[in-house]
Amino acid sequence: MFQFATATQIVFGEGALRELPRLVRGVGLRGAQQPDPPSSGVSAWLVLGSARRHEARVRELLESAGLAVDVATVAGEPTVEDVVAIVEAARAGRAELVVGVGGGSVLDAAKAVAALLANPGDPFDYLEVVGRGQPLSRAPLPFIAVPTTAGTGAEVTKNAVLASTAHGVKVSLRSDAMLPKVALVDPELTLSLPPELTAATGLDALTQVLEPFVSCQSNPLTDALSREGLWRGARSLRRAFHAGSDLVARTDMALVSLLGGLCLANSKLGAVHGFAGPIGGLFPAPHGAVCARLLPLVVERNLEALRARDPSGPAIERYTEVARILTGNPSARADEAAPWLAALVDELRVPALKHYGLASAAIPELVKNAQRSSSMKGNPIVLTPEELTRTLEAAL
């Protein structure tokens, strides 16, 4: 048995941002069923990154739908405190809609804001791992997600990743009700991404179509999406990095990101993301860069463990298929996936994790935290502490 849930509506394509006023009228706001823009003072909170890219255009589109617009910004990956501050301001402004425009961090912050605006109490009432993990009692405010990077797939996921500074870890606020009302994906919004960000987000997207495919909780629907994402990522990530104005490559990578979000929300990830949360909670390391550096090492370690402890299971054959899609060689062996990925990470100039301050002394704590993470439960085989330790040591 498996289930599949996603955003109420996905709108994808070049120039799709122009559809925002029409989509706003369809999410259930006061006056939304009228043919003309609502005139009852409906307020929207627009959550952006600190650079406030696309603000003028999105504000104009929202105002054309009859909305009063307030703006909040998120600098870097969001903390619990960041979200609480936005929620307090939005409650005072009587927000009825949340629109997130930005990368995965912005979308996660906006998603959490929409959830907490409708649910009273402390965020730690609802957070996993470090909180009480209580279910949301009320549906979040309508949320429209507009990604401007091609990486996390947060526009179609049901969780928001937040850093708890008090605990030194990144954890999720999670509920099926947090799936966005609309995922509005316009590849043109990614054309201005610099190469470094293209690399980190693109490798995160590639990780998020690979890990669900080999996951112990994969299913036929996510398998189909993973295969499509692996193929498109293999052909276009290099092109998007080296020629950022290549709209075909950017469109491919926007789709890889979307497919990865659909996959991770409906199956599980693995050890790469099992490590990424604890590392991001302790060090100022971009999530995508962490995933990039760990991905070939986790593939290698998983294959080693599978051959030792589960040689007849399905995961080795899954890795064989991954290798054939990535390399384009129909005769490739499973062992060829990790070198292909390692060469890609090097070509895209993603630094080793020591660049972000990660040192050997932190590894025991990171291994302990990673073993408790939700993502680790999807890994195709349970890795031992020693195997996890060797993987991190190789990523330094």
**Same domain, yes or no, for 142 and 129?**
yes
Do 183 and 85 belong together in one domain?
yes
When pLDDT is averaged across residues 233-239 and rounded to a whole number, the result is 98
Alpha carbon distance 9, 156 (integer Å): 9
Percent over 70 (pLDDT), the chain: 97
Condensed to tens digits (0 to 9), the pLDDT of residues 65-77 reads: 999 999 999 988 8
Q: Are residues 153 and 202 in the same domain?
A: no
2 lies in some domain: no
Give the mean model confidence (pLDDT) for residues 23-28.
Answer: 87
Considering the domain architecture, whether residues 266 and 384 belong to the same structural domain is answered as: yes
Q: Is residue 3 part of a domain?
A: no
Average pLDDT over residues 188-195: 95
pLDDT at 34: 40
Query: What's the CATH number where 78 sits?
Result: 3.40.50.1970
* Residue 274 belongs to a domain: yes
**CATH number of the domain that residue 249 is part of:** 1.20.1090.10
Q: Looking at the structure, do residues 264 and 211 belong to the same domain, yes or no?
A: yes
Q: 35 pLDDT exceeds 50?
A: no
Do residues 23 and 141 both lie within one domain? yes
Contact 163, 280 (CB under 8 A): yes
pLDDT digits (tens, 9 = 90+) for 198-210: 999 999 999 999 9
- pLDDT reading at 349 higher than 90: yes
pLDDT at residue 76, as a whole number? 84
Q: Which residues contact 212 (CB under 8 A, 6 or more apart)?
A: 218, 222, 226, 260, 263, 264, 266, 267, 268, 269, 378
Q: Is 172 within a domain? A: yes
To the nearest whole number, what is the mean pLDDT of the chain?
92
User: Reading across the β-sheet that carries 97-102, which strands appear in turn?
Assistant: 9-12, 182-185, 143-147, 97-102, 43-49, 68-74
Co-location of 270 and 391 in the same domain: yes
pLDDT of residue 39: 46
Can you give the pLDDT at residue 91?
86
At 320, the pLDDT band (50, 70, 90 cuts) reads: very high
Check whether residue 23 and residue 138 sit in a common domain.
yes
| Radius of gyration in angstroms for the set of CA atoms belonging to the chain, rounded to a whole number | 20
**Cα–Cα distance for residue pair 243/225, rounded to 1 Å:** 26
Q: What is the dihedral of CA 298, 163, 9, 95, to 10 degrees?
A: 180
Q: What are the tokens at 168?
A: 């030194």
Is residue 34 included in any domain, yes or no?
yes
Burial class of residue 61, CB neighbours in 10 A (0-12, 13-18, 19+): buried
Task: Please give the tally of structural domains in the chain.
Answer: 2
Q: How confident is the model at residue 323 (pLDDT cuts 50, 70, 90)?
A: very high
What is the arithmetic mean of pLDDT over 270-283?
92
| Residue that the structure tokens 């295969």 belong to | 227
Q: Which of 242, 170, 172 is nearest to 202 (CA)?
A: 242
Q: Tell which of 140, 165, 190 closes a domain.
A: 190
**Is the model's pLDDT at 352 over the cut of 50?**
yes
Average pLDDT of 166-170?
Answer: 79
- Domain presence at residue 1: no
Which residue range(s) make up the domain with 212? 195-395
* Residues 51, 127 within the same domain: yes
Whether residue 115 is found in the same domain as residue 235:
no
The yes-or-no verdict on residue 126 having pLDDT over 80 is: yes
What is the distance between the alpha carbons of residues 215 and 305, in angstroms, rounded to a whole number? 14
What's residue 30's pLDDT?
55
- Tell me: do 246 and 155 sit in the same domain: no
Please tell me whether residues 206 and 119 are part of one structural domain. no
Please give the average per-residue pLDDT across 53-62, as a whole number: 94
Give the model's pLDDT for residue 310: 97
Q: Which of 190, 222, 243 is the last residue of a domain?
A: 190
Mean pLDDT of 292-315: 97
Enumerate residues 6+ apart whose C-beta is below 8 A from 257: 147, 149, 150, 151, 152, 153, 185, 201, 205, 208
- CA–CA separation, 235 and 317 (whole Å): 22
Distance between CA atoms of 270 and 301, rounded to whole angstroms? 12
- Give the mean model confidence (pLDDT) for residues 291-311: 97
